[in-house]
Amino acid sequence: MSTALDASGSWELPEELRMLRDTIRRFMAEEVRPAEDQLDHDAYTLEPGPLQALQAKAKSVGLWLFETPAEHGGAGLSLLGQCVAAEEASKCRMGMYIAGAGAFGFDPPNVIWKGTAHQQRFARKDVANGTKAFVAISEPGGGSDPGRAIQTRAVRKGDRYVINGTKIWISGAGMADWGIVFARTGDTPGRGGITSFVVDKSRPGIRLSKIPVIRSYAPYEVHFEDYEVPIEDRLGEEGQGFSLAEEWLVHARPPYAAATIGIAQAALDIATDWVRQRKTFGQHLADRQAIQWMIADSEIELRAARLMVYQAAWNADLGRDIKVDASACKVYGTEVAGRVIDRCIQMLGGMGVAQELPLERWYREARIRRIGEGPSEVHRMVVARAILGSRRD
């Protein structure tokens, strides 16, 4: 990838990523949003026929599985590229949780590509068919540090492991045929005692319970009752579960924030168009200072959040440790998005909460982003510890 600095020393996206952004933007406008317009306001998935047609079109223009390595059938984008793609692909009603309404496929958890060819069998089907997997980490008593609090156990019995326990807040489990589950093996405390397994939903001993939440895309409880996993589906060695996934977990945060920023930008675009046209008491809303300040504050915060995400991703692509960068942009990006969408609803008044527009849906969904992938408070703790730990009295 070319440098992000132009001849004058100003920062800008590399040309290939600007082209990618523009291609996704056109595809969203011409293909995805018209398909969504045929659905109910709170729908969270397209019907199989229209979805497969969209996916075929996306594949034909090279917009397929942005995170998945090229050697496994995806686009193999850099982390900066993934952030650019996530921001544009989110600009639809489903986009905060179903990027591009599913048109661009669903990346398998990237940790699976560290496994054996046998373990990758489900992921290869997802790559080919545009289907989805789930990752089961969080537990009912796990709090904000699920790795240390995992109680689900996997006990080895001969050539297999028997898993018992419950996972909670698992997105995508209802749509998936398979997933990766993290369970405790042996007596080692903390994250060092966690092992990951590839699980097949068609095997007996796994049961799902849907959890109604404020968004239409509901997570699940996943219950394991004497669920047997062949030893060849253990991902890595015993006790390596979190170390295998650590980079993947951290690197997921900048695209997560980027998608939220994309939705907020779409909301601001809607609000800007509205206030230019809407008149009250003989004056356009756009001429009122209160409205202008809402627009200005939103634009300023979005610019700052976007650059924070880009910087984190750029550092990752340079091989740098981005644990603190990722936490910072996750907090700031998700909180800015909530404020921007809230302002946009206020500018539109009653229309802001009408289901004729997507703003009220995005408002509900954006609220969850401050909790998902680690709550804001935990990421603030990561940043604070990094700063305070470097102090010298």
* 219 and 320 co-located in one domain: no
CATH number at residue 39: 1.10.540.10
Confidence (pLDDT) at 3: 44
* 270 and 201 co-located in one domain: no
The CA angle 163-164-170, to the nearest 5 degrees, is 90
* 165 and 212 co-located in one domain: yes
| pLDDT tens by residue, 285-313 | 999 999 999 999 999 999 999 999 999 99
How many whole angstroms separate alpha carbon 369 and alpha carbon 261?
11
How many whole angstroms separate alpha carbon 11 and alpha carbon 4?
6
In this structure, is residue 368 part of a structural domain? Answer: yes
Confidence (pLDDT) at 133: 94
**Residue that finishes a domain, picked among 107, 126, 157:** 107
**Residue that finishes a domain, picked among 190, 209, 240:** 240
* 378 and 258 co-located in one domain: yes
In this structure, is residue 125 part of a structural domain? Answer: no
In this structure, is residue 246 part of a structural domain? Answer: no
* 207 and 321 co-located in one domain: no
Per-residue pLDDT tens, the chain, 393 aa: give them: 444 544 444 578 999 999 999 999 999 999 999 999 989 998 888 889 999 999 999 999 999 999 999 999 999 999 999 999 999 999 999 998 899 999 999 999 999 999 999 999 999 999 998 889 999 999 987 666 666 678 999 999 999 999 999 999 999 999 899 999 999 997 877 788 899 999 999 999 999 999 999 988 899 999 999 999 999 999 999 998 988 888 888 999 999 999 999 999 999 999 999 999 998 888 999 999 999 999 999 999 999 999 999 999 999 999 999 999 999 999 999 999 999 999 999 999 999 999 999 999 999 999 999 998 889 999 999 999 999 986 554
* 235 and 275 co-located in one domain: no
76 phi-psi bin (left φ>0, alpha ψ -120 to 50, beta other): left
In this structure, is residue 201 part of a structural domain? Answer: yes
CATH number at residue 364: 1.20.140.10
Confidence (pLDDT) at 4: 54
Helix (H, G, I), strand (E, B) or coil at 165: strand
Q: How many structural domains comprise the chain?
A: 3
Confidence (pLDDT) at 245: 81
| pLDDT tens by residue, 213-228 | 998 889 999 999 999 9
Q: Which of 237, 356, 373, 377 is catalytic?
A: 373
How many whole angstroms separate alpha carbon 375 and alpha carbon 297?
24
Tell me which residue of 123, 124, 86, 79 sits closest to 104, measured CA to CA: 86
The CA angle 42-207-104, to the nearest 5 degrees, is 45
H/E stretch holding 347 reads: helix 323-348
Confidence (pLDDT) at 142: 67
* 228 and 257 co-located in one domain: no
How many whole angstroms separate alpha carbon 337 and alpha carbon 301?
9
Confidence (pLDDT) at 8: 45
Among this protein's residues, is 31 annotated catalytic? no
* 323 and 371 co-located in one domain: yes
CATH number at residue 139: 2.40.110.10
Confidence (pLDDT) at 7: 46
Confidence (pLDDT) at 144: 62
In this structure, is residue 5 part of a structural domain? Answer: no
In this structure, is residue 343 part of a structural domain? Answer: yes
* 330 and 381 co-located in one domain: yes
Helix (H, G, I), strand (E, B) or coil at 160: strand
The CA angle 171-175-177, to the nearest 5 degrees, is 105
* 261 and 358 co-located in one domain: yes
In this structure, is residue 332 part of a structural domain? Answer: yes
- Full residue range of the structural domain in which residue 200 is found: 134-240
How many whole angstroms separate alpha carbon 133 and alpha carbon 169?
14
* 143 and 231 co-located in one domain: yes
Tell me which residue of 103, 106, 122 sits closest to 56, measured CA to CA: 103
Confidence (pLDDT) at 226: 97
Q: How many residues does the chain have?
A: 393
Sign of the dihedral defined by the CA atoms of residues 109, 113, 115, 118, in that order: positive
* 228 and 256 co-located in one domain: no
